[in-house]
Structure 1
Amino acid sequence: MTGAKREAFGVYVHWPFCLSKCPYCDFNSHVRHAAIDEDRFAKAFAREIETTAERTGPREVSSIFLGGGTPSLMRPETVRAVLDSIGRHWRIADDVEVTLEANPTSVEATRFAGYRAAGVNRVSLGVQALDDSSLKELGRLHSVREALDAVAIARKSFDRYSFDLIYARPNQTPKDWADELALAIKEAAEHLSLYQLTIEQGTPFFGLHAAGKLKTPDEITARALYDVTQDICAKHGLPAYEISNHARKGAECRHNLVYWRGEEYAGIGPGAHGRLDIEESRHATATEKRPEAWLMRVEANGHGVITDDVLNREERADEFLLMGLRLAEGIDPKRYAALSGRALDERRIALLREEGAITVDADGRLRVTQAGFPVLDAVVADLAA
């Protein structure tokens, strides 16, 4: 229909392997010292894509994200095979965004050129810090110089690129972070992902933190670091469009917006999650996490899905609220009401407005304020109650 809003549909592909496991990371990533059989994985990706497409029926893919793990450990030929498989089973939008995550240690010019030729048009670099001692503490295998060289290669190879940094690191001061952020903004053309260090259960950092051997900034310093992040990025034309993501206008990561706006996406590969609309129901899918077990499942059954739950109205509405309020654009409460069958409590909204945690636009759109973002979980819980 002319003028109708095109529904976004994303495809997430998970490459689960890394050169080493970072001590703060609780993602589904695995280290293998033997060579990875990429041809076998490429065939399995293609099979799971085919099976998923049979379930969804026709879709137009607006974004593809190759995440991990470290997808830049894949040969460009493997990336091309995956993208070709997606194109065989779904229509690809003319302006599709195709992002590949890369670590500076696994980057070199010929491989980046190969990814570009394969169809990747955006790269996201896991830089994590622009301080050599911090990189060592974080278990990273690259130096600041290597990271900046990788950014330079990305700049030559891709029109769109981004990189990640972690802040609220041990002993980090607001002044240190302000200097580091200034350098990052100088190097980043359009997009930065800036994550506050969290201590996740089951990671080496969790054990060190519990034993008192790893000290992170206290609550007051952490808040100061957050405020520095918001102020400096906004002044340099990269305001937060999501709680941890900053971009120039029009340069937002379109794939991640699919998640945060509650739109539809397929999850392909070991440990990938998906949200699929099938026969007017929202399915929450998840695949087997262990790479070799996932391979065997796909080869036997055509897919690695181990969880396929149909979300009820309340679950879908709560997910929409949780994800949508991460965005600076906020949510339309009418969509929440349509999903859940009930409107948000006006008294709770009024109270949160009085406390300065949210605002409500003239058209009724609800947004979390900069003061409210540090306590976002509490805001969401209050509205959802």
Structure 2
Amino acid sequence: MARALYIHWPFCEKKCPYCDFNSHVRERVDTAAWEAALLKDMRAEAAEAGGETLTSIFFGGGTPSLMPPRLVESLLSEAQDLWGFDSDIEITLEANPSSVEAANFADLAAAGINRASLGVQSLDDETLRWLGRLHGSAEARDALQTAREQFERVSFDLIYALPGQSARQWRSQLEEALDFGTSHLSLYQLTIEPGTRFATDVRRGVFAPLDDDEAAELFALTQELTQAAGLPAYETSNHARPGEESRHNLTYWRYQDYAGIGPGAHGRRGGFATARHKKPENFLAAVEKRGHGIAEQRSLAIPEQASEALLMGLRLKEGLDIAALEARFGIARSELIVPEKVTQYTDLGLLWQDGPHLGVSAAGRPLLDGLLAEIVADALVKA
């Protein structure tokens, strides 16, 4: 069953204009009520998804670094009692690089966090203001230094391909980011998500997204600089020194089971998909009434599981083992992928094949979504 646990903390001090995550702003958060609810939800999930020791835990959000360290410690203690921890468990917490939150890093490390993922997003003050961030570039640099002193491993996020951003501007910022010497970077092109303020701004003509060709140029530059610095891409937007990849995210992309608790958290376990109530108040009410926060739990048909495994696995540089998927799901290779399309795109250098292994090449990565639509069998896409 599940060997990874995701814990969602839904609260933020401010909703960023590009964000479509399940995050909420509240004047007051009753920490005691949330501790009780999350512990109860965790126990209910462990009853269904127990049996193996955990190899990773990920606190996501929202802004988990706003959680009191004592609450983090309580949740980790309960998780260890329920599942047990692998001797080399990775325990990640997402954090904003504000001075207030950085002041808690030592206590969070003492609570058991051994990997921090900082939402820096930019090292430029003007860009940070445009992105709606509450921290400045100096705070971000200080927080990165503090994080490296307190946690065994540190990653941070940057957003690029911003309106009007030039290759020179992105090169300068990425080179500075690489100089920090962290073992992992998440580098995301700005995506205009439906329902966000940025989506409204684009619709009203306030700004226009960067041209696709210019964005592709920045993507290629990103691959070049990170590869040269020893942090090659292991997934479309994630870069790490070999051996420093996010174990938790690899669980998703390798389509292994994981449990998810907290508002809006999703999980995959034993062929079932779970989704918790998204609105914090609805989550609390559900836990109070039923002992868990699940809003939906459904059995995934085998073709749907196979489709998800393909779509996730092909995001990884390592690709996936088609023969292993055939055995796992009892579906023939020709019913998983479209052989003639795979041959066509392999000949064009957009895919690679090595025995039963199939992956997307460096040249194909900028075209990933289009390639997946072409090579995944229609029967799976419609599953």
Q: Give the structure-1-normalised TM-score.
A: 0.95
**Corresponding residue for residue 23 of structure 2:** 29
User: Does the alignment pair 1:13 with 2:4?
Assistant: no
SS of 1:31's equivalent?
A: coil
Question: In 2 relative to 1, CA 219–57 (structure 1 residues): closer, same or farther, beyond 3 Å?
Answer: closer
User: Does the alignment pair 1:239 with 2:229?
Assistant: no
**Corresponding residue for residue 331 of structure 2:** 341
The answer to whether the 8 Å contact 2:2/2:269 transfers is no
Matches within 5 A, 1:277-316: 277=270, 282-316=271-305
Task: Report the Cα offset of residue 9 of structure 1.
Answer: 1.2
SS of 1:63's equivalent?
A: strand
> RMSD over aligned Cα, in angstroms?
1.2
The answer to whether the 8 Å contact 1:24/1:138 transfers is yes
Question: In 2 relative to 1, CA 83–312 (structure 1 residues): closer, same or farther, beyond 3 Å?
Answer: same
SS of 1:32's equivalent?
A: coil
The answer to whether the 8 Å contact 1:64/1:99 transfers is yes
1:96 & 1:8 partners in 2: Cα distance?
14
Aligned residue type for 1:287: R
Of the candidates 136, 141, 160, which is equivalent to residue 129 of structure 2? 136
Question: In 2 relative to 1, CA 330–107 (structure 1 residues): closer, same or farther, beyond 3 Å?
Answer: farther
SS of 1:36's equivalent?
A: coil
User: Does the alignment pair 1:77 with 2:70?
Assistant: yes
2:35 & 2:232 partners in 1: Cα distance?
38
Matches within 5 A, 1:350-369: 350-361=343-354, 363-369=355-361
Aligned residue type for 1:367: G
Greater than 6 Å deviation, 4+ residue runs: none
Aligned residue type for 1:266: A
**Corresponding residue for residue 381 of structure 2:** none
Q: Any gaps of 5 or more consecutive residues in structure 1?
A: 1-6
Task: Report the Cα offset of residue 313 of structure 1.
Answer: 1.1
The answer to whether the 8 Å contact 1:128/1:135 transfers is yes
Task: Report the Cα offset of residue 252 of structure 1.
Answer: 0.4
Question: In 2 relative to 1, CA 144–186 (structure 1 residues): closer, same or farther, beyond 3 Å?
Answer: same
**Corresponding residue for residue 251 of structure 1:** 244
**Corresponding residue for residue 380 of structure 2:** none
Question: In 2 relative to 1, CA 107–162 (structure 1 residues): closer, same or farther, beyond 3 Å?
Answer: farther
Task: Report the Cα offset of residue 349 of structure 1.
Answer: 1.4
1:71 & 1:119 partners in 2: Cα distance?
14
2:294 & 2:99 partners in 1: Cα distance?
30
SS of 2:372's equivalent?
A: helix
SS of 1:262's equivalent?
A: coil
Q: Give the structure-2-normalised TM-score.
A: 0.95
Aligned residue type for 1:10: A
**Corresponding residue for residue 165 of structure 2:** 172
Aligned residue type for 1:229: T
Aligned residue type for 2:311: L
The answer to whether the 8 Å contact 1:72/1:107 transfers is no
Aligned residue type for 2:228: K
Task: Report the Cα offset of residue 106 of structure 1.
Answer: 5.8
The answer to whether the 8 Å contact 1:123/1:154 transfers is yes
Q: Any gaps of 5 or more consecutive residues in structure 2?
A: 378-383
1:334 & 1:253 partners in 2: Cα distance?
25
Task: Report the Cα offset of residue 156 of structure 1.
Answer: 0.5
Matches within 5 A, 1:116-265: 116-265=109-258
Of the candidates 27, 36, 39, which is equivalent to residue 43 of structure 1? 36
SS of 1:264's equivalent?
A: coil
SS of 1:246's equivalent?
A: strand
Aligned residue type for 1:384: V
The answer to whether the 8 Å contact 2:57/2:91 transfers is yes
1:135 & 1:345 partners in 2: Cα distance?
44
What do the CA deviations read for 1:123-165 (whole angstroms, capped 9, x no partner)? 0000000111100000001111000000000010012000000
Aligned residue type for 2:83: W
The answer to whether the 8 Å contact 1:122/1:158 transfers is yes
Aligned residue type for 2:20: D
Aligned residue type for 1:304: G
Question: In 2 relative to 1, CA 111–302 (structure 1 residues): closer, same or farther, beyond 3 Å?
Answer: same
